[in-house]
């Protein structure tokens, strides 16, 4: 990055007004006194390619990508990291100084880092993981769990074909469980993860019977509105170690900020409070 240019980054999506990323990166820019800016960018699918070509010429060093461009953006990238290719989607772009566009996916990193910070000593090889949901977020979670050595992933999704597609892609560590059996798969799981939108404000409630969860399990939910979902409240009430979903959102942003602005940012309590306001 040239020293006399103010670095810009942003989040590309449609709609974009609801994005929490400007607040997140804005907090770090201020905290570290970096003279950069991070802006929300409303971009329609038809304009995506042109926008990506123009951004580096305007001083952008990178961007986050959100719905509906996370998959499509891979088509325009010159370099796609292994993890983005495996997940089939990117959330972080870097406009490199050699003119190439690099596409990465940091959701899996954010997921694992959130668990490691929330449960010190957590290890993926403690036993089977039970994963609820098989949408876009589940792809990042499943691929990250396999990468860090999880021995078995039980996967239940309302639409079974989507869990079967994940098994096809990610292999035999994944055991596809019928949606009606989702409660049973929680028994003996060392890690329970909700990657579905169940339990999120404004979405359907989590109705899976939770009594199979062992008090020894670590339980985490990707949903962070509310911060304590019904799943997390139940898990906490029986003595499980629980980790909320806000941390994943914060940690997935760390690698991008570091690449764009040259400082590895810290996820601290004040940041969590800023995001919850
Ligand atoms: P997505 O691709 O649209 O997938 C939605 C998932 O929820 C699918 O598995 C879907 O099942 C399931 N689902 C939706 N309504 C359901 C219902 N009524 N009954 C049963 N299952 C239902 O969305 P996504 O991107 O994976 O995101 C999923 C959730 O994770 C969202 O709440 C999102 O906010 C959250 N998230 C959080 C973070 C974070 O940083 N904390 C990151 C990414 C996502 P079907 O396949 O049957 O439709």
Query: Considering the domain 8-106+253-269, what is its CATH architecture?
Result: 3-Layer(aba) Sandwich (3.40)
Provide, rounded to the nearest whole percent, the portion of the chain with pLDDT above 70.
Answer: 99
Distance from Cα 195 to the centre of ligand 1, integer Å: 6
Confirm or reject: Cβ of 133 under 6 Å from ligand 1: yes
Distance from Cα 2 to the centre of ligand 1, integer Å: 40
Q: What is the 3-state secondary structure (H, E, C) of 173-200?
A: CEEEECHHHHHHHCCCCCEEEECCCCCC
* pTM score of the predicted model: 0.96
249-260: pLDDT as tens digits: 999 999 999 999
CA distances from 182 to 40, 56, 215, 245 (A): 38, 46, 18, 21
Q: Which CATH number fits domain 108-248: 3.60.130.10, 3.40.50.970, 3.30.70.360, 3.40.50.720?
A: 3.40.50.720
Probe target for ligand 1 pocket from 133, 164, 205, 244, with the most ligand atoms within 8 Å of CB = 133
Supply the mean pLDDT for the chain. Answer: 96
Beta bridge partners of 11: 40, 64
- Per-residue confidence (pLDDT) for residue 5, from 0 to 100: 79
Q: Is residue 75 marked as binding?
A: no
Confirm or reject: Cβ of 160 under 6 Å from ligand 1: no
Closest ligand 1 atom to Cα of 132: 9
**Count of CB atoms situated within 10 Å of the CB of 262:** 13
In the chain, ranges of CATH 3.40.50.720 domains: 108-248
Confirm or reject: Cβ of 88 under 6 Å from ligand 1: no
In the chain, ranges of CATH 3.40.50.10860 domains: 8-106+253-269
């Amino acid at each position: 990055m040239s020293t006399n240019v103010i670095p810009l980054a942003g989040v590309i999506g449609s709609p974009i007004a609801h994005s929490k990323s400007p607040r997140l990166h804005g907090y770090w820019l201020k905290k570290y006194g970096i003279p950069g800016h991070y802006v929300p960018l409303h971009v329609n699918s038809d304009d995506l390619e042109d926008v990506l070509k123009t951004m580096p010429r305007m001083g952008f060093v990178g961007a986050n990508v959100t719905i509906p461009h996370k998959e499509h953006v891979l088509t325009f990238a010159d370099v796609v990291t292994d993890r983005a290719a495996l997940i089939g989607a990117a959330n972080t772009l870097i406009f490199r100084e050699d003119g190439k566009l690099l596409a990465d996916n940091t959701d899996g990193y954010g997921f694992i880092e959130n668990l490691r910070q929330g449960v010190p000593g957590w290890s993926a090889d403690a036993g089977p993981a039970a994963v609820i949901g098989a949408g876009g977020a589940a792809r990042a979670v499943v691929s990250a769990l396999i990468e860090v050595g999880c021995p078995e992933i039980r996967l239940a999704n309302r639409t079974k074909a989507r869990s079967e597609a994940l098994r096809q892609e990610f292999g035999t560590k994944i055991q596809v469980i019928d949606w009606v059996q989702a409660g049973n798969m929680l028994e003996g799981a060392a890690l329970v993860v909700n990657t579905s939108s169940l339990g999120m404000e404004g979405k359907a409630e989590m109705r899976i019977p939770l009594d199979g969860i062992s008090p020894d399990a670590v339980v985490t939910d990707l949903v962070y509105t509310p911060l304590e979902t019904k799943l997390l409240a139940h898990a906490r009430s029986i003595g499980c170690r629980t980790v909320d979903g806000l941390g994943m959102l914060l940690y997935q942003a760390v690698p991008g900020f570091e690449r764009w602005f040259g400082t590895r940012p810290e996820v601290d309590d004040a940041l969590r409070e800023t995001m919850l306001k």
